[in-house]
Amino acid sequence: MFPVQIEEKLQMFREETYVILKEREQTELIEKKQGGEVNLTYIAQGNTLIFLSPENHVLSYLDGQKKGATACADIFLFKLICESGKWELHIIEFKKTVNLDTVGKSRWQFTMGIYNARAVAAFLGIEIENICLYSGFRNDKVEDNSQLINLRARINTEAINKIKQWNNEECKLIIDGKEIVLPHKKIYLDQSGNGQFSI
């Protein structure tokens, strides 16, 4: 069961911006961007609150004229940890193809996603205990071993670090001025952008 105080506050949100799921319920997480469409079936393994398209609902105080200020990830999932009453924050970013450029762009989208998700959590009275990041994609161009060899020859340490993080399923971010390492899991989609996901 969802905490009553959270359900009461959610009534102030636009209904199309969120979904509440209980154990074994499911919903479709959709990305409509032309050429990069996604239809990801999410099956809940516990009480889950999902915010859809948060990139369209970032804090209105942020200045859209400043580069990166209104960047954000595609999906926020808050999963209740019954034992503690705290929540896990799961942030998903969709890309048609993952390569070194998109991995770098995703880092900033994850960073801004965390800041925006924390703002929503603060309003709802949600205490976040853990954060996990996810990339949903059709094509993986990062795991190309020949690319790594070429980059080593050029001594491109930044690119090599991106590849290592991708392969180790971790992501280093600067949050509140401190470097943190978060788990970064892969969601494999078929060539039509369909997939299934559960946490």
Residue 149 has pLDDT above 60, yes or no: no
Give the distance, in angstroms, between the CA of residue 23 and the centroid of all CA atoms in the same chain.
Answer: 21
- 21-42: pLDDT as tens digits: 999 999 999 998 887 899 999 9
Instruction: Check if the beta carbon of residue 198 is closer than 8 Å to that of residue 45.
Output: yes
pLDDT attached to residue 151: 60
Give the pLDDT band (50/70/90) at residue 87: very high
pTM score, whole prediction: 0.93
Q: What is the pLDDT averaged over residues 131-135? A: 98
pLDDT attached to residue 144: 64
pLDDT attached to residue 129: 96
pLDDT attached to residue 25: 96
Please name which of 5, 88, 79, 11 lies closest in space to residue 43, comparing C-alpha atoms. Answer: 79
